[in-house]
């Protein structure tokens, strides 16, 4: 009875709070004259159109809206609660750099991150986040990346050998590449950051429980959109964390139970890795391959943390949280990005051949390229940059101002009254959806061919408009890895992952698209490849998420 009573109380409180929010949102607001597309649903607003979309229509819908309404327009969340959709470079600079202390992550997003990973980089804000970045930033410098590059090659070769066993000369095989990309990305993070092996990559093409959990985490988050926003803020301070966790068992909600079990698995795995690595560090033993070489980033973190002052030192709980954070962030986005590149290369055999010729030519005499030589390959660099420009794995970043503020725009926008304005008054608490992919594809910045995938664009000087836009992103005038103090700490690590994997795979294999299936990219927090069903209604290879490709041995010529 106690569990039912708790559920009823929480439900009533949630409904009361929800009604209050709806009524508050409908009062006269500084946003009332900001223009935007009409929503198809009062209940769901633009969420199924722009933010969580089980088709590939979200890209075109947003492109049309940005073209019509400009760099800032108004949309609707649940129950007509307004949000701002921002792609203007000047406004984005204010959100992520100039006024970053004003714009914070959404409260529900922070809570979900903390439940999933603990008090790590994704779930900390303010002074504590700065403290963690201060210790962790030096761990991802180029010197450390150079040291782990041979480890990356080892992982890539293991994957290549296993895939090659399914193919013989003159023949091809349909191979589901998403599990391979996921397993390889996880192993790269495991070996390069943690000194831990998650995947042997020598077995059948399937993902283990831990790998599957990480891959399904974002889609699971996306299924809690309503409760995350409206219920979590109400219940976050009820009792102790242990009480709240036990209370979940009394709520008849299978998806919530699944999420709890996912969080448990992530924590227990990270705790096991931390204890093993801490013992190895204390004993000075890094000779065992399963414990890493001592060059992996976690070993360096433990060493730096031990030498830090009391005020700068991270707690064990924080370090364990970083393990979960790095594992998730390094695997999910990188595996999707690798799949996107392979998908694009499969659609364009000519560009695939160009990339292969560059890789084969560079490796003919040098073998495995060191970090600097690999990074210097111009066409490989263009393929990676152009893919991350046009198809960022995380198309949106969401922020909320903690006080009333103003967002200026580089190009005036038109209001519903027909007036043109150069700044937008943003009330405290307004949801601001920052469009990474529209910033990266803005034709005013990148030119008329901004929507085209052209790796060769990076071989020539970029348009002057790119420099004039003063985009704040940390990577190649792009917002792909965010900007400012919350920019992705491991973006060079991710770039190295992609380039090593592509150099080894494209050298050995030729990739093409199956004739009986089509892959689209759905939006579930991040963009995921989804296999469209065959005409008879059966899913290709028995799965929804996936990237089936025809793989054959590449010609050595």
Q: Which residues of 462-484 are buried (b: 16+ CB within 10 A; e: fewer)?
A: eeeebeebebbbbbbbbbbbbbb
CB 136 within 8 A of CB 121: yes
Give pTM, 2 decimals: 0.89
CB 520 within 8 A of CB 535: no
pLDDT tens column, 340-386: 999 999 999 999 999 999 999 998 877 899 999 999 999 999 999 99
Nearest to 513 by CA among 293, 378, 349: 349
CB 137 within 8 A of CB 525: no
Spacing of C-alpha 131 from chain mean position: 23
488 is in an annotated binding site: yes
Q: What is the C-alpha separation between 260 and 271, in angstroms, rounded?
A: 16
Q: What is the pLDDT, as a whole number, of residue 523?
A: 85
Nearest to 480 by CA among 361, 334, 339, 364: 334
- Residue position matching structure tokens 């990305």: 185
**pLDDT for residue 296 is more than 90:** no
**pLDDT for residue 433 is more than 90:** yes
**pLDDT for residue 534 is more than 90:** no
Write the DSSP string, 158-173.
HHHHHHHTT--TT-EE
**pLDDT for residue 543 is more than 70:** no
What does each C-alpha distance from 480 to 29, 395, 434, 494 come to in angstroms?
32, 8, 11, 12
Q: Which of 2-6, 74-78, 79-83, 336-340 has the highest mean pLDDT?
A: 336-340
Q: What is the pLDDT, as a whole number, of residue 16?
A: 59
Where residue 124 falls among pLDDT bands split at 50, 70, 90?
Answer: very high
Q: Which residues of 389-421 are buried (b: 16+ CB within 10 A; e: fewer)?
A: bbbbbbbbbebbbeeebebebbeebeeeeeeeb
CB 363 within 8 A of CB 503: yes
Residue 13: both structure tokens together: 């409180």
């Amino acid at each position: 009875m106690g569990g039912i009573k708790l559920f009823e109380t929480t439900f009533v409180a949630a409904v009361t709070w929800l009604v209050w929010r709806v009524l508050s949102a409908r009062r006269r607001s500084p946003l009332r004259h900001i223009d935007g597309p009409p929503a198809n649903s009062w209940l769901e607003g633009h969420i199924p159109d722009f933010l969580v979309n089980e088709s590939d229509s979200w890209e075109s819908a947003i492109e049309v809206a940005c073209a019509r309404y400009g760099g800032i327009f108004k949309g609707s969340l649940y129950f007509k609660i307004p949000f701002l959709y921002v792609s203007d470079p000047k406004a984005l600079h204010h959100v992520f750099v100039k006024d970053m202390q004003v714009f914070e992550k959404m409260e529900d997003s922070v809570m979900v991150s903390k439940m999933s990973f603990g008090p790590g980089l994704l779930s900390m804000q303010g002074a504590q986040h700065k403290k963690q970045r201060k210790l962790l930033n030096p761990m991802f410098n180029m010197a450390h990346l150079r040291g782990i590059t041979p480890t990356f090659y080892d992982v890539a070769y293991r994957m290549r050998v296993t895939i090659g066993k399914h193919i013989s000369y003159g023949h091809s095989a349909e191979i589901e590449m998403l599990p391979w990309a996921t397993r390889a990305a996880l192993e790269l993070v495991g070996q390069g950051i943690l000194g831990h092996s998650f995947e042997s990559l020598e077995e059948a093409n399937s993902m283990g429980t831990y790998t599957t959990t990480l891959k399904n985490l974002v889609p699971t988050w996306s299924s809690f959109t309503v409760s995350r926003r409206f219920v979590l803020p109400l219940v976050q301070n009820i009792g102790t964390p242990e009480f709240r966790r036990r209370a979940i068992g009394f709520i008849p909600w299978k998806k919530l139970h699944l999420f709890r079990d996912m969080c448990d698995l992530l924590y227990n795995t990270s705790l096991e890795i931390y204890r093993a690595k801490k013992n190895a560090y204390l004993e000075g033993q890094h000779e065992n391959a399963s414990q890493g070489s001592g060059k992996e980033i976690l070993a360096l973190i433990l060493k730096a943390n031990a030498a830090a002052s009391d005020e700068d030192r991270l707690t064990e709980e924080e370090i364990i949280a970083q393990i979960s954070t790095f594992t998730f962030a390094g695997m999910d986005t990188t595996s999707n990005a690798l799949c996107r590149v392979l998908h694009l290369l499969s659609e364009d055999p000519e560009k695939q051949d160009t990339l292969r010729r560059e890789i084969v030519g560079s490796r003919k005499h040098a073998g495995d390229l060191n970090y600097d030589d690999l990074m210097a390959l111009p066409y490989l660099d263009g393929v990676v940059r152009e893919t991350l420009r046009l198809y960022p794995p995380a198309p949106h970043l969401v922020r909320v101002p903690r006080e009333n503020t103003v967002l200026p725009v580089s190009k005036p926008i038109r209001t519903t009254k027909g007036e043109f304005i150069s700044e937008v008054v943003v009330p405290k608490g307004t949801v601001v959806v920052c469009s990474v992919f529209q910033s990266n594809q803005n034709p005013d910045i990148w030119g008329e061919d901004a929507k085209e995938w052209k790796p060769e664009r990076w071989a020539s000087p970029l348009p002057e408009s790119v420099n004039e836009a003063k985009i704040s992103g940390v990577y190649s005038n792009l917002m792909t890895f965010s900007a400012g103090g919350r920019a992705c700490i491991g973006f060079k690590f991710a770039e190295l992952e992609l380039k090593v994997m592509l150099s080894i795979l494209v050298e050995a294999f030729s990739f093409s698209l199956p004739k009986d299936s089509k892959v689209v990219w759905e939006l579930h927090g991040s963009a995921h490849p989804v296999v469209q069903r065959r005409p008879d209604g059966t899913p290709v290879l028995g799965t929804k998420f996936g990237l089936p490709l025809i793989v054959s041995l590449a010609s050595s010529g």
